[in-house]
């Protein structure tokens, strides 16, 4: 039997070994630019509603406009109606992005009940129509981001992976938790290994990669083609270089100094204000400031003080005054401030 020739593609784009995850309310344009300028080879937009684009929702369009001229970038969309998905795919594709990703993992009740995010995986036939519409609408790199299933009794990652591959997706990103697990408990990396062995297209592993060592362990334990990082990059754009250097040389570069952290944070603040205006930019950066300064002793009063400020200059001045006091790190040997995860 004749072998079907591979579908022609406009781009030969492939996922790199390390990438920044889509995180709603966090990985906005400013955060993505900071990650890229610190060596992150690929970033994803926050999830964008296909229906919102179709219905000309202002907030949704603002998110897409925020992505203009950004490279390399994958835009993530969600929805369940083939028509909206097809239109959104075409719109996003016309912006010249490197790739488009369909969110099949969002656990949020409202999204789930609307047969979107993880909810669409409960309806495989409808998922087939959605993916077919996407593939028809674009030649660019197409991927899905999935969870393992709704709960441990309904693991469906192989079936969903199979559908994605069969409908012409170029890669699967796998957050190895069920919907029921939310973002807690340990990500089950053996599921990633299982999916990687099962599919022919690249599988990107996601869940609990927080530093160079855990990244390497995920590669070794699962055989995955790349790792995606969400919470490990909070206030820590250095993580990408750290991982890539370690993978290439076996040496972990030293953590950033206080001066480096502060100058990156200030740049991040300025970018946030450029993109969102002073009031919204400062407000939305509050949590990120907390992540950058985490790991130093007695940062609570500093956070409280910053949370009362509304101007960029006020926040920068306060941070500089704090840095001038040579704040002590919580535990010198711990290096970068990192969120706590179950140990592996
Ligand atoms: C607050 C929050 C928002 C998130 N938003 C998105 C999103 O918009 N799209 C998506 O695919 N995943 C989203 N995720 C999931 C992450 O991309 C990632 O799959 C998950 O956090 C596991 O990775 P980690 O262990 O590196 O954090 C979100 C996670 C969190 C905690």
DSSP letters along 270-283, please? HHHHHHH-HHHHHH
Q: DSSP H helical segments within the chain, as ranges?
A: 29-37, 50-54, 58-65, 82-94, 109-113, 124-137, 157-166, 189-198, 212-222, 239-249, 258-276, 278-293, 300-306, 312-324
| Percentage above 70 pLDDT, the chain | 93
Could you tell me the two tokens for 75?
Answer: 């835009």
103 close to ligand 1 (CB < 6 Angstrom) = yes
Ligand 1 pocket check: which of 143, 183, 233 to mutate, most ligand atoms within 8 Å of Cβ?
A: 183
Q: Is the pLDDT of residue 288 over 80?
A: yes
Q: Name the least confident of 8-12, 77-81, 337-341.
A: 337-341
Sequence-distant (≥ 6) Cβ neighbours of residue 137 within 8 angstroms? 85, 86, 87, 89, 90, 93
33 close to ligand 1 (CB < 6 Angstrom) = no
Q: Which atom of ligand 1 is nearest to the CA of 103?
A: 11
Residues 224 and 271 in one domain: no
Residues 286, 312 contacting (CB under 8 angstroms) = no
CATH of the domain at 135: 3.20.20.70
Residues 43 and 70 in one domain: yes
Residues 58 and 87 in one domain: yes
What is the domain range of residue 305?
Answer: 258-324
Q: Which residue has the tokens 């409908």?
A: 167
Residues 213 and 98 in one domain: yes
Q: Which helix (H) or strand (E) holds 48?
A: strand 48-49
Domains identified in the chain, total number: 2
- The vertex-94 CA angle with 136 and 77, nearest 5°, equals 70
pLDDT (average), residues 16-32: 98
Residues 93, 138 contacting (CB under 8 angstroms) = yes
Q: Which of 249, 279, 313 finishes a domain?
A: 249
- Report if residue 330 sits inside a domain: no
Residues 29 and 156 in one domain: yes
Give pLDDT, residue 10.
52
28 close to ligand 1 (CB < 6 Angstrom) = no
- Report if residue 143 sits inside a domain: yes
Per-residue pLDDT tens digits for 192-235: 999 999 999 999 999 999 999 999 999 999 999 999 999 999 99
The Cα–Cα gap between 76 and 66 comes to: 13
- Report if residue 219 sits inside a domain: yes
Q: Is the pLDDT of residue 11 over 70?
A: no
Residues 208 and 82 in one domain: yes
- The vertex-101 CA angle with 98 and 105, nearest 5°, equals 155
Q: Which of 249, 270, 287 finishes a domain?
A: 249
Q: Which of 249, 277, 304 finishes a domain?
A: 249
Per-residue pLDDT tens digits for 67-94: 999 999 999 999 999 999 999 999 999 9
77 close to ligand 1 (CB < 6 Angstrom) = no
| Percentage above 90 pLDDT, the chain | 90
Confidence of residue 332 (pLDDT cuts 50, 70, 90): very low
For residue 13, which of 34, 32, 47, 41 has the smallest C-alpha distance?
41
Distance 27 CA to ligand 1 centre (A): 10
Residues 11, 139 contacting (CB under 8 angstroms) = yes
For residue 176, which of 159, 201, 152, 212 has the smallest C-alpha distance?
152
User: Per the confidence metrics, is the pTM higher than 0.85?
Assistant: yes
Q: Name the least confident of 2-11, 62-71, 258-267, 282-291.
A: 2-11
Residues 201 and 62 in one domain: yes
Residues 110 and 54 in one domain: yes
- Report if residue 8 sits inside a domain: no
For residue 267, which of 315, 336, 339 has the smallest C-alpha distance?
315
- Report if residue 335 sits inside a domain: no
- Report if residue 266 sits inside a domain: yes
DSSP 217-232: HHHHHH--SEEEESGG
Does residue 55 sit in helix, strand or coil?
coil
Residues 288 and 164 in one domain: no
Residues 132 and 267 in one domain: no
Catalytic residues: 106
Give pLDDT, residue 12.
87
- Report if residue 123 sits inside a domain: yes
- Report if residue 344 sits inside a domain: no
The Cα–Cα gap between 31 and 20 comes to: 10
Residues 192 and 55 in one domain: yes
Residues 74 and 128 in one domain: yes
Nearest CA to ligand 1 atom 29: 23
Distance 148 CA to ligand 1 centre (A): 14
């Amino acid at each position: 039997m004749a072998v079907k020739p591979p579908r022609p593609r406009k781009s030969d784009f492939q996922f790199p070994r390390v990438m920044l995850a889509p995180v709603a309310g966090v990985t906005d344009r400013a955060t993505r630019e900071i990650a890229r300028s610190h060596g992150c080879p690929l970033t994803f937009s926050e999830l964008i509603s296909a229906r919102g684009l179709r219905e000309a929702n202002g907030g949704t369009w603002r998110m897409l406009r925020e992505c203009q001229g950004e490279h390399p970038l994958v835009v993530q969309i969600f929805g369940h109606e083939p028509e909206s998905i097809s239109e959104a795919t075409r719109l996003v594709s016309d912006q010249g992005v490197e790739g488009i990703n369909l969110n099949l993992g969002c656990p949020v009740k409202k999204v789930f009940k609307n047969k979107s995010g993880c909810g669409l995986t409960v309806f495989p036939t409808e998922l087939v129509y959605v993916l077919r519409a996407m593939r028809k609408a674009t030649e660019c790199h197409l991927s899905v981001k999935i969870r393992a299933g709704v709960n441990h009794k309904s693991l469906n990652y192989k079936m969903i992976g199979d559908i994605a591959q069969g409908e012409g997706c170029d890669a699967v990103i796998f957050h190895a938790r069920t919907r029921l697990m939310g973002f807690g408990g340990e990500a089950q990396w053996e599921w990633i290994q299982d999916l990687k062995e099962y599919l022919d297209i690249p599988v990107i592993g996601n869940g609990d990669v927080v530093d160079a060592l855990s990244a390497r362990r995920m590669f070794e334990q699962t055989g995955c083609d790349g790792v995606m990082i969400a919470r490990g990059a909070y206030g820590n754009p250095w993580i990408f270089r750290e991982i890539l250097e370690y993978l290439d040389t076996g040496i972990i570069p030293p953590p950033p100094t206080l001066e480096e952290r502060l100058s990156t944070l200030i740049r991040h603040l300025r970018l946030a204000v450029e993109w969102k205006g002073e009031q919204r930019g400062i407000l939305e950066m509050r949590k990120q400031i907390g992540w950058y300064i985490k790991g130093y002793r007695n940062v609570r009063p500093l956070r409280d003080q910053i949370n009362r400020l509304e101007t960029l200059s006020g926040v920068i001045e306060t941070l500089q005054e704090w840095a001038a006091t040579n704040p002590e790190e919580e535990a010198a040997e711990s290096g970068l401030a990192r969120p706590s995860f179950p140990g592996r």
